[in-house]
């Protein structure tokens, strides 16, 4: 597994799952404990924990779709009753034993995990922002697990949600985090997302460079990192708040309408590739 180590204390281990999903271990190295994020294939996740010398003490579920929550029952049976299964309180995750909402904070060793409500893709979708506790802050960036709300270069389907909800989630909730916050999303759709971004902004140098990096890393089956600041530089869903994207969309002054145009355009473009 390629590792992302914001510090010696806090570490993120990506666990590729299914065809294009990512589960993760969020580890507190000092205590040797970790949280499993969306462990859809429990055997893989538990093996990764064992290889890393970690004990899973918490399960963090971003949302109810089976490819994120579908491993919860099995991992719960293996870990026992003492391990909370955390999920958004409005999301109908059947296996949830600890429902959470915006502003709730969970502790994992010296790591604080804040819950961010990002309803849209599902009614109770949440993201998890992890930071070292204040006394351990060595100017380390936080990390955010964004499920199917924010992808590298893209965003999840609106489903029963509204463009206003997704715009709020991306531009205010996630977009309000420090630019250096590292992004760990639910799927690797990165190369396709960036090809669409370049349909909208063909001259966007950041998108060109990230696409090249994504293609290289995909060929080596390596994990693709991003940050909130990077997403603001190339992700058209994040950039729907900008006048340049609103101009492309024909929706001056309306970020939600621009985001919907980006979504509809990407869906139509994706269908055209399959013809």
Specify the pTM.
Answer: 0.96
Is 171 annotated in the active site? no
Tell me the per-residue pLDDT of 64-98, one tens digit each, with 9 for 90 and over: 999 999 999 999 999 998 999 999 999 999 999 99
pLDDT band at 140 (very low <50, low <70, confident <90, very high): confident
Is 1 annotated in the active site? no
Please identify which of the residues 125, 168, 171, 187 carries the catalytic annotation. Answer: 187
Please identify which of the residues 65, 125, 168, 171 carries the catalytic annotation. Answer: 65
3-state SS class at 185: strand
pLDDT for 7: 54
Average pLDDT over residues 6-24: 91
Is 125 annotated in the active site? no
pLDDT for 133: 86
Cα 121 from Cα 140, distance rounded (Å): 30
Is 168 annotated in the active site? no
Cβ proximity of 204 and 166 under 8 Å: no
Is 67 annotated in the active site? yes
Please identify which of the residues 28, 38, 91, 148 carries the catalytic annotation. Answer: 148
Please identify which of the residues 38, 67, 91, 117 carries the catalytic annotation. Answer: 67
Is 63 annotated in the active site? yes
Backbone angle region of 92, left / alpha / beta, with phi > 0 → left and psi within -120 to 50 → alpha: left
> How many CB atoms within 10 Å of residue 32?
14
Tell me which residue of 52, 68, 75 sits closest to 4, measured CA to CA. 52
pLDDT for 265: 98
pLDDT band at 99 (very low <50, low <70, confident <90, very high): very high
SS (H, E, C) 16-64: EECCCEEEEEEEECCCCEEEEECCCCHHHHHHHHHHCCCEEEEEECCCC
Contact partners, residue 134, CB within 8 Å, separation at least 6? none
Size (the chain), residues: 275
Is 148 annotated in the active site? yes
pLDDT at 6 over 90: no
For residue 87, the cross-strand partners are: 99
pLDDT at 1 over 90: no
Cα 96 from Cα 193, distance rounded (Å): 31
Please identify which of the residues 38, 91, 117, 121 carries the catalytic annotation. Answer: 121
């Amino acid at each position: 597994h390629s590792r992302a180590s914001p510090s010696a204390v806090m570490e993120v281990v990506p666990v590729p799952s299914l065809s294009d999903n990512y589960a993760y271990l969020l580890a507190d190295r000092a205590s040797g404990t970790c949280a499993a994020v969306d462990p859809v294939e429990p055997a893989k996740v538990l093996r990764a924990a064992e290889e890393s010398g970690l004990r899973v003490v918490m399960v963090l579920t971003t949302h109810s779709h089976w490819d994120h929550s579908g491993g919860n029952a099995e991992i719960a049976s293996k870990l026992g009753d003492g391990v909370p299964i955390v999920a958004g309180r409005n999301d109908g995750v059947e296996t949830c034993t600890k429902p959470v909402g915006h502003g709730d904070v969970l502790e994992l060793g010296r790591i604080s995990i804040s819950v961010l409500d990002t309803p849209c893709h599902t009614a109770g979708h949440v993201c998890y922002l992890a930071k070292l506790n204040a006394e351990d802050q060595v100017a380390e960036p936080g990390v955010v697990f964004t499920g199917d709300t924010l992808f590298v270069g893209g965003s999840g389907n609106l489903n029963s949600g509204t463009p206003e909800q997704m715009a709020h989630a991306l531009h205010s909730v996630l977009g309000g985090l420090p630019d250096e916050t590292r992004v760990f999303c639910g799927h690797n759709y990165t190369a396709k997302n960036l090809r669409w971004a370049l349909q909208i902004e063909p001259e966007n140098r950041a998108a060109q460079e990230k696409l090249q990096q994504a293609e290289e890393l995909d060929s080596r089956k390596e994990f693709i990192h991003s940050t909130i600041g990077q997403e603001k530089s190339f992700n058209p869903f994040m950039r729907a708040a900008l006048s340049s994207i609103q101009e492309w969309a024909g929706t001056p002054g309306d970020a939600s309408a621009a985001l919907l145009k980006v979504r509809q355009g990407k869906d139509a473009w994706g269908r055209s590739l399959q013809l």
